[in-house]
Amino acid sequence: MALFSQNLPQVLVNEIFSYNPLHRVCMKEVMVDLLLDHHKWNMAPVFNELMIQECDNEYCDELMIKNGEESQCALIFGKRYHFCCENCAGQGEWNIRYDYRKAMRS
């Protein structure tokens, strides 16, 4: 959160924090429904491509919704990875860091 506050002007930070953060969590499902239901063209394939991906744990084939309620997100070496569950997040992050360390050794 400190990094977030440092990169934005104080006026914007104050505006953002004037809203209840719980409201964002509660409205997320409604906003996704509105986005998918009230569109002029059938954008389902596009949204699926943007929102559905395979778990970033290399040993898991699970398809999942990016930033979905059950998905886990981790920032590793400046890149955002999405995992289907907490177990995959732990294992996947360890594997990514292990591969990075291995690549740095040679």
Contacts with Zn ion by CB under 5 A lie at 55, 57, 60, 62, 84, 88
Residue 83 CB, shortest distance to Zn ion, in Å, is 5
Question: What's the rounded Cα separation, in Å, for the pair 45 and 61?
Answer: 20
Residue 53 CB, shortest distance to Zn ion, in Å, is 11
- The DSSP 8-state label assigned to residue 81 in this structure reads E
CB of 14 or CB of 87, closer to Zn ion:
87
In this structure, are residues 92 and 79 in contact, taking their beta carbons and an 8 Å threshold?
no
Residue 68 CB, shortest distance to Zn ion, in Å, is 12
38 phi and psi angles, rounded to 5 deg: -110, 60
